[in-house]
Structure 1
Amino acid sequence: MKLPNMALIVLSALLVFSCSKDNDAPNNPNPQDENIYYPPLNSDIWETKSIETLNWNETQLQPLLDFLEEKNTKSFMILHNGKIVVEHYMNGHDSNAVWYWASAGKTLTTALSGIAQDEGYLNIENKVSDYLGTGWTSADLDKENLITCKHLLSMSSGLDDTLGDDVSPTNLQYIADAGTRWAYHNVYVKMQDVVAQATNQSWENYFISKLKNPIGMNGSWIGLGDLSVYWSNTRSMARFGLLTLANGNWQGQQIISENYLNDALNTSQNLNQSYGYMWWLNGKSSFRLPQTQIQFPGELIPNAPDDMFAALGKNDQKIYVVPSLKLVIVRMGETADDENFALSNFDNDLWEKINDLIN
Structure 2
Amino acid sequence: MIQKITFLTLIFILFSCSTEHSESNTSADNMYFPPTDGSTTWETKSITDLGWNVSAVQPLLDYLQEKNSKSFIILGNGRIVLEHYFNGHTASTLWKWNSAGKTLTSTVAGIAAQEGLLNLNNKVSDYIGTGWTSAPLTKENLITCKNLLCMNSGLDDSLGDDVSPSNLKYLADAGTRWAYHNVYVKLQDVVEQASGQPWNTYFNTKLRDKIGMESSGFWYIGTGANLGLKIYFSTTRSMARFGLLALNKGKWNGTQIINEAFLNDATSTSQNINQAYGYLWWLNGKSSYHLPQTQLQFSGCLIPTAPNDMFCALGKDDQKIYVIPSKKMVIVRMGDAADSSNMALSDFDEVLWQKISALYP
Q: TM-score under structure 2 normalisation? A: 0.90
Instruction: State the Cα distance separating 1:53 from its structure 2 match.
Output: 2.1
Q: Which amino acid aligns with 1:354?
A: I
Match of 2:124 among 128, 131, 148: 128
Residues 20-58 of structure 1: CA distance to partner in whole angstroms, max 9, x if unpaired? xxxxxxxxx964143210000111000000112222111
Q: Which amino acid aligns with 2:154?
A: G
Find the residue that maps to 1:306 and give its secondary structure: coil
Find the residue that maps to 2:219 and give its secondary structure: strand
Write the mapping of 1:78-93 to structure 2, written as runs, cut at 5 A.
Answer: 78-93=74-89
Q: Which amino acid aligns with 1:194?
A: V
Q: Give the Cα–Cα distance (whole angstroms) in 1 for the partners of residues 117 and 104 of structure 2.
A: 17
Q: Which amino acid aligns with 1:348?
A: E
- CA root-mean-square deviation: 1.1
Instruction: State the Cα distance separating 1:222 from its structure 2 match.
Output: 1.1
Find the residue that maps to 1:320 and give its secondary structure: strand
Q: Indicate the residue corresponding to 2:10 in structure 1.
A: none
Q: Indicate the residue corresponding to 2:326 in structure 1.
A: 324
Q: Which amino acid aligns with 2:29?
A: E
Q: Give the Cα–Cα distance (whole angstroms) in 1 for the partners of residues 25 and 131 of structure 2.
A: 57
Instruction: State the Cα distance separating 1:338 from its structure 2 match.
Output: 1.1
Count of residues paired in the alignment: 331
Q: Indicate the residue corresponding to 1:239 in structure 2.
A: 241
Q: Indicate the residue corresponding to 2:221 in structure 1.
A: 223
Unaligned segments of structure 2, at least 5 residues: 1-23
Does residue 37 (structure 1) correspond to residue 44 (structure 2)? The answer is no
Q: Indicate the residue corresponding to 2:58 in structure 1.
A: 62
Find the residue that maps to 1:358 and give its secondary structure: coil
Is the contact between residue 33 and residue 78 of structure 2 (CA under 8 Å) also seen in structure 1?
Answer: yes
Q: Indicate the residue corresponding to 2:188 in structure 1.
A: 192
CA separation of 1:144 and 1:198: change in aligned 2, threshold 3 A: same
Is the contact between residue 25 and residue 51 of structure 2 (CA under 8 Å) also seen in structure 1?
Answer: no
Q: TM-score under structure 1 normalisation? A: 0.91
Q: Indicate the residue corresponding to 2:273 in structure 1.
A: 271
- Greater Cα shift, 33-42 or 72-81: 33-42
Q: Which amino acid aligns with 2:142?
A: L
Does residue 49 (structure 1) correspond to residue 49 (structure 2)? The answer is no
Q: Give the Cα–Cα distance (whole angstroms) in 1 for the partners of residues 92 and 261 of structure 2.
A: 34
Write the mapping of 1:110-259 to structure 2, written as runs, cut at 5 A.
Answer: 110-218=106-214, 219-225=217-223, 226=227, 227-259=229-261
Instruction: State the Cα distance separating 1:294 from its structure 2 match.
Output: 0.5
Find the residue that maps to 1:53 and give its secondary structure: helix
Which one has the largest radius of gyration?
A: 1
Q: Which amino acid aligns with 1:220?
A: F
Instruction: State the Cα distance separating 1:131 from its structure 2 match.
Output: 0.6
Q: Give the Cα–Cα distance (whole angstroms) in 1 for the partners of residues 165 and 328 of structure 2.
A: 43
Q: Give the Cα–Cα distance (whole angstroms) in 2 for the partners of residues 321 and 59 of structure 1.
A: 24
Unaligned segments of structure 1, at least 5 residues: 1-28
Q: Which amino acid aligns with 1:230?
A: Y
Segments of 4+ in structure 1 off by > 6 A? none
Instruction: State the Cα distance separating 1:171 from its structure 2 match.
Output: 1.1
Q: Indicate the residue corresponding to 2:314 in structure 1.
A: 312
- Greater Cα shift, 303-312 or 127-136: 127-136
Residues 43-100 of structure 1: CA distance to partner in whole angstroms, max 9, x if unpaired? 1000000112222111100110011001110000000010000000011111111100
Find the residue that maps to 1:207 and give its secondary structure: helix
Q: Indicate the residue corresponding to 1:336 in structure 2.
A: 338
Instruction: State the Cα distance separating 1:300 from its structure 2 match.
Output: 0.1
Does residue 282 (structure 1) correspond to residue 280 (structure 2)? The answer is no
Does residue 99 (structure 1) correspond to residue 101 (structure 2)? The answer is no
CA separation of 1:87 and 1:97: change in aligned 2, threshold 3 A: same
